[in-house]
Chains A and B, each alone.
Chain A
Amino acid sequence: MIQTSEIKRVFDENDVVLIKSSINVYTKSILELVNFGLENDKVIFYISATVPSTVFKTIFESTGIAHDNIYFIDCTTYSFDITQDPNIIVVESPTMLETIIIKIMYLHKISKQKMPDKSPMIIVDSANSLSIHNDLGILSEFFHVLITMVRPTGAKLAILTIMEQLTEDLSHTLELISDTVLTE
């Protein structure tokens, strides 16, 4: 599991961090990351492309994580289960990568209005899942555009990957666009 002290160290020095986590401790690593963000006065934009946002909301609730400052961009429910939850935005498909970028910028604008002192921490869960739906060309372009657009906002970006399922090509591309790699 990734330790909070390690997370703090890499995010103190970098904006874009590629996190390679083992499948056995994947959820625990996410919880550490979210906790770190909230404790460091961040507003969290959680892009859920692996598990529906409602599942993570339940996990956060059961582990005592206050989720008022966590906004989800949910790409897994395909509008079959459109929610009225103001903290969840549904993007109809994980192939609508530009829409994900716009939703992040939208969340940045509204969070700036509500919580001007908090800067965003964006968690992409996960690059593996996005790669199932998108080829490497568009995926690397997506991350490049996303990083270019969010860097001026002072945002921190965590790109999560499941180590055991990471192909060499995807790993290489993600390493190129990230400032550093944190391996569990």
Chain B
Amino acid sequence: MYNPDRCKTGIGELDSLLNGGIPRGNSVLISGSCGTGKTTLSLEFLIHGVENGEKGLYISATEISSKVMKNMVPFQFFREEYFDSGKIKIMDIPNIYSKLNLKKLEFEQEDIDRLVNYIGEIVKNDGIKRIAVDSLTSICYRLRTEEKIRDFIIKFEEIVSKMGGTALMISELLPNAKGYSQYGVEEAVADGIILLGNLKRRGDLLRTLQIIKMRGTSHSRAEYVMDITPLGIMLSPLLKGWTVNQ
């Protein structure tokens, strides 16, 4: 059933765990180390958005967008025409920095404002409802201090919220990281956190997904096994019986 207050990710099991989807206006941290499926989840979210009449923006900061696109071709849900027609806009962060003449290794307050305003203009002019920032961590490298990171995220969240949109902000973690973000401040400011992990079990490496927090909705807190299939991301409950004899 369509619920105007919820933004369906398009990943059926995840939407069920979120009681119907991400509450609209939320900016959600997708945290995980390498190979956990962060980029796939973000793009599936954007593509599903177009199928529901919502335009998307993908801000790529870790890989050049053409490479990201090439990796998506094998997926059945991938629609190149959505990108060609501009229903999903792709922007490489180095191009944005260059356009805004942001050359400093550490941004000043005015640089942050220019960056946020620029994203805000695109979102407003193009009527964008879904945004994926891949990754927030890369942008944070140029912000450096907790205060600037907090300021950037809060201003970004304001844009998303005002537009009635929904954003995924990718947070890159080291494999043995304790928290959900590299600087700590991201997880405190974000409206939600979805943690993607790699679980090593008797020599198998299982991808996992767990919703840590999501403002505005009740949600599952259990850990699920995630698989990236040609149809996209699918989930199964994590079996716990294996701990019995360990």
Contact = CB atoms under 8 A, between A and B. Distances in A.
A41 interface: no
Given A135-B241, A139-B241, A102 B235 contact: yes
B204 interface: yes
B236 A98 contact: yes
B76 to A, nearest CB: 9
Interface in A111-136: 134-136
Given A98-B236, A101-B236, A138-B239, A110 B204 contact: no
B12 to A, nearest CB: 9
Given A102-B235, A105-B234, A145-B236, A92 B204 contact: yes
Contacts of B229: 102-103, 106
Contacts of A95: 201-204
A137 B236 contact: no
8 contacts: A95-B201, A98-B206, A99-B225, A99-B236, A102-B225, A106-B234, A138-B242, A145-B239
Nearest to A97: B239
Nearest to B245: A135
A95 B201 CA distance: 9
B179 interface: no
Contacts of A101: 236
Interface string A59-102: 00000000000000000000000000000000011011111011
Contacts of A105: 234, 236
A140 B40 CA distance: 32
Contacts of B225: 98-99, 102
A163 to B, nearest CB: 24
Interface centre among B201, B229, B230, B240, by most chain A C-beta atoms within 10 angstroms, is B229
A101 B226 CA distance: 11
Interface string A135-156: 1111111100100010000000
Given A106-B229, A109-B231, A110-B231, A138 B241 contact: yes
Contacts of B242: 134-135, 137-138
B244 interface: yes
Main secondary structure of the interface of A (DSSP, over half): helix
Interface residues of A, number: 25
Q: Which 10 A-B pairs have the closest CB atoms?
A: A137-B241, A138-B241, A98-B225, A137-B244, A141-B241, A98-B236, A102-B227, A101-B236, A138-B242, A106-B229
Nearest to A145: B237
Contacts, number: 66
B238 interface: yes
Contacts of A145: 236-237, 239
Contacts of B227: 98-99, 102-103, 106
Contacts of B231: 106, 109-110
B212 to A, nearest CB: 20
Nearest to A99: B227
Interface centre among B234, B235, B243, by most chain A C-beta atoms within 10 angstroms, is B234
Contacts of A109: 231
B184 to A, nearest CB: 31
A106 B230 CA distance: 9
A98 B238 contact: yes
A162 B204 CA distance: 27
Contacts of B241: 135-142
Contacts of B203: 93, 95
Given A95-B204, A98-B206, A99-B236, 19 more contacts: A95-B203, A96-B204, A98-B227, A98-B237, A99-B206, A102-B229, A102-B235, A102-B236, A105-B234, A105-B236, A106-B234, A110-B231, A134-B242, A135-B242, A135-B244, A135-B245, A137-B245, A142-B239, A145-B236
